[in-house]
Structure 1
C-alpha cells in the first residue's frame, strides 16, 4: 500500500488533533507591541497526571518512508513542537476500536507544530532533516499511556 502526503492544514488534521501555527491574525500584541500572541492553539487533555515538557532528538528519515509501527496514548494528548524550521512527517490513522484503520500522512510546513488528541493512532516522530529536535508536551504520570501496533505489511509514504 502507498500513501501520498498532503499538506498539514487545520481542517484536514482536525479529526486527529490540533495544528499549532501563526496563521491568521494574532489574538493580541504583547511585549510593548513587539510580539504577536496566537493564543491557545492546542487542547491539552490528561487523565490522572500532569503536563510535562521533554526534548526528543529523533533520527531524520527520508521519503519514501516505510511505516511499520503506529502508537497511541490513551491517557493524554501529545504535542510535537519542532525546534527548527524544517518540515516533518505526520502520520495518523483512524481508530477501529483497539487497532488502527486507514492511514493518512501529512507534511508540515516550516513553523507548524501538532497536538495529537488523546487516543489518536499516529506514527512515530519522523523528522525529515537534521537536527530532529522537538519539544514534546505530554502526560507524565502512572499508568499505561502507550499502546503500540506493528503493521503486518509496511505502508509506503511518498511525497504528495
Structure 2
C-alpha cells in the first residue's frame, strides 16, 4: 500500500485535472446589487454526441485514512461534483500515463468548493467525508460508453495533512 497525503484544494494545484468552483476572485453584482456572480467557472464538455445532464448522488461518507484501488475516467465528457451541503470532501485525481493512471494526488475541499473534472481525467470515486453525502452531478448523457475503470494492483492510502 502506497501513502498519499491529502492537501487543501486550490485552483492552481487542480488545474491540470479540472476546475475548482468557488465564490472567490472577480465577480459582478446582479439582482439589484444583492448577489455576486462569479461567472463561467468551469469548462463543461459533453462531446459532439452528448448533452448535459444533472443527477443527484447520495454517497456514503468515508474517513481518513482512506484506502482505495479503483480509479475511473470519462473519455466522452467532463463531470462536475457540486456538494449540496457545506461539508468537505476528498478529491483524488491522477495524470494519464499511456492509458492508465499515474501517481494519484489527493485534495480536500474546504466545504465551499465544487469541482469539474475535465474529459478523460482519472479520478477516484465520490468520497464525502461527512454526512450527508449529497451532490448534484453535471455530466454527459449519451448513447456511447463513457466510463473506463482501472484497479491499482497494490492500492493507496490517503492520510490527512
TM-score, normalisation: structure 2:
0.97
Task: For 1:3-42, list aligned pairs within 5 A.
Answer: 3-26=4-27, 28-42=28-42
Q: CA deviation at 1:84?
A: 0.5
| Structure 1: gaps (5+ residues) | none
Q: Give deviations 1:25-45, integer Å, cap 9, x for gaps.
A: 32x111111111000000001
Alpha-carbon distance between aligned partners in 1 of 2:143 and 2:154, rounded to the nearest angstrom: 33
RMSD between superposed Cα atoms in Å: 0.7
Q: CA deviation at 1:24?
A: 1.7
| Structure 2: gaps (5+ residues) | none
Alpha-carbon distance between aligned partners in 1 of 2:154 and 2:34, rounded to the nearest angstrom: 51
**Which position in structure 2 is the counterpart of 1:45?**
45
**Which position in structure 2 is the counterpart of 1:80?**
81
1:148 pairs with 2:149: yes
Q: What is the aligned residue count?
A: 159
Q: CA deviation at 1:50?
A: 0.2
TM-score, normalisation: structure 1:
0.98
**Which position in structure 2 is the counterpart of 1:114?**
115
Alpha-carbon distance between aligned partners in 2 of 1:156 and 1:111, rounded to the nearest angstrom: 25
**Which position in structure 1 is the counterpart of 2:92?**
91
| Runs of 4+ with deviation above 4 angstroms | none
